[in-house]
Amino acid sequence: MDLVAIAATASSLTGFVEGGALEGALAAIGGKELEAARRVFSSLDASKDPKHAVNRALVHLESAHLLFFELWNKRTNFGRIDVSGDAEKRDFWTCCLAAICHRFLGDDGSIINAWLDSAANAGYYTFAKVTKQPNLVDWIGAGVSFLNPVFYYRCFKDKPLPECPSEAQFKEFRRLLTKK
């Protein structure tokens, strides 16, 4: 998913949201809350008020972000540690899509920047405000996860997620998305 191309012009951003590409991106990320958001976007062309529909989908994106963030940032329960790193990627893409939706709605730049800050944290960019360092609990939990058969099921059932863009690409995406 080329974030810079999506944010480059108003028409490319609108086309991404209204043209079905956002729906495809949500399907690729996965998760029940994202599936609910995808369903909203799948019926966007039949909606009398597309901006209201996008607002409804944002509720699901916010819930998905909180779920993914908890998985990768608050690793206190061994059974919830995501050793594959997918929670960070899923959170990154969820936050980027939420920022795109807020831009589509014409929301204030501070809201868009807050979502992009959350994406940067999940993407482990060096300029991110918060960084997570692995600790002993992470390592013990990772070892315990290898004993859990659900870990192997998840590794092989899910399609691989797209990699996070480079820092330079992300900074350009932020600049384009937050310009007035």
- Using CA atoms of 28, 30, 32, 33 in order, give the dihedral in degrees to the nearest 10: -70
Give the model's pLDDT for residue 72.
76
The answer to whether 104 and 170 have CB atoms below 8 angstroms apart is: no
Task: Tell me if 56 sits within 8 A of 40, measured CB to CB.
Answer: yes
pLDDT of residue 74: 62
Which pLDDT belongs to residue 75?
A: 52
Confidence (pLDDT) at 160 = 65
| DSSP, res 68 | H
Beta-carbon-side half-sphere exposure of residue 86 (alpha carbons within 13 Å): 17
From first to last of the 180 residues of the chain, give the pLDDT tens digit: 777 888 877 778 788 777 777 777 777 776 778 888 888 888 877 888 888 888 988 988 998 898 888 777 765 444 444 444 677 888 898 999 899 999 989 998 899 999 999 999 887 665 555 444 555 444 444 444 444 444 444 444 455 677 788 888 999 999 998 987
What local confidence, expressed as pLDDT, does residue 127 receive? 56
Angle at 157 between CA 162 and CA 170, to 5 degrees: 15
What does residue 21 show for φ and ψ, rounded to 5 degrees?
A: -70, -35
Sequence-distant (6+) residues with CB within 8 A of 24 are none
